[in-house]
Amino acid sequence: SARNDNRLEYVQILRGGSDDDNWRAPLEIQGKVHMKNCLIDGSLGNGLTTEYSGAFYSFENNTIKNCASYAWKTENDASLYSGIGDGNVFENNGKNMIWVNNSSVTLTDHVTLKKMPIPYYFPNGYSVNDAYRYTIEPGTVMLFGSNTRFDISSETTLKAEGTTTEPIVIRGLEDEAGYWNGIMWYSIKAASVMDYCQVSGRGYSESYDEACNLFLYDNA
């Protein structure tokens, strides 16, 4: 269901999940819902999954803890752009991060990657495409899988503006040189900006000329 009056408030979902499937979690969202002041505790697998067009109208003051695998696993990007609010707590999970399966997104509007108290993890890399603005909030941490990269298309405007106290961090899952392939920058949009961003990890392979922290391609 994706009705705007769907609500989960002050709900405790305890000791569910399963370890027999990568997507198993005690709460799996395939529609859309307001979720506030809820607790997910003690899952045998992931804490929360969002699949297909699953997303949140609002997501505030929720706690996901003591889950054996990922705190949150998402198959899509919709759950990252809208509805994410403040006060969410993620603690004592086996992999305390948001696992993003989708490796490529074609923008249909201006979107914002919301700052969360835990990192986003892109195991298959990430490519942002089409002529809209993609904003990354200050304090956001983006982690990338081995031998993957972050692609910014020629028509996309990237606004990655951190602050001195809340820099944007973009690096490999393992914080070591050569773990991932860095940022491939195709964008030619004059409004694009990176400010107070920490990009690290060098290139995955010395034999790959474009494998570096930030590679400006062609007319970028």
Q: What is the pLDDT of residue 220?
A: 54
Band of pLDDT at residue 159, cut at 50, 70 and 90: very high
The three-point CA angle 146-148-151 to 5° equals 155
Q: Where are the alpha helices (DSSP H) in the chain?
A: 78-81
In this predicted model, what pLDDT tens digit does every residue of 27-57 receive, in sequence order?
999 999 999 999 999 999 999 999 888 999 9
Residue 135 contacts residue 107 (beta carbons within 8 Å): no
Residue 39 contacts residue 10 (beta carbons within 8 Å): no
Q: Per the structure block, which two tokens stand in for 212?
A: 């570096």
Percentage of residues in the chain with pLDDT exceeding 70? 93
Band of pLDDT at residue 206, cut at 50, 70 and 90: low
Compute the average pLDDT of residues 157-174.
97
> In terms of C-beta density within 10 A (0-12 exposed, 13-18 middle, 19 or more buried), how is residue 182 classed?
buried
C-alpha 37/C-alpha 42 separation (Å) is 17
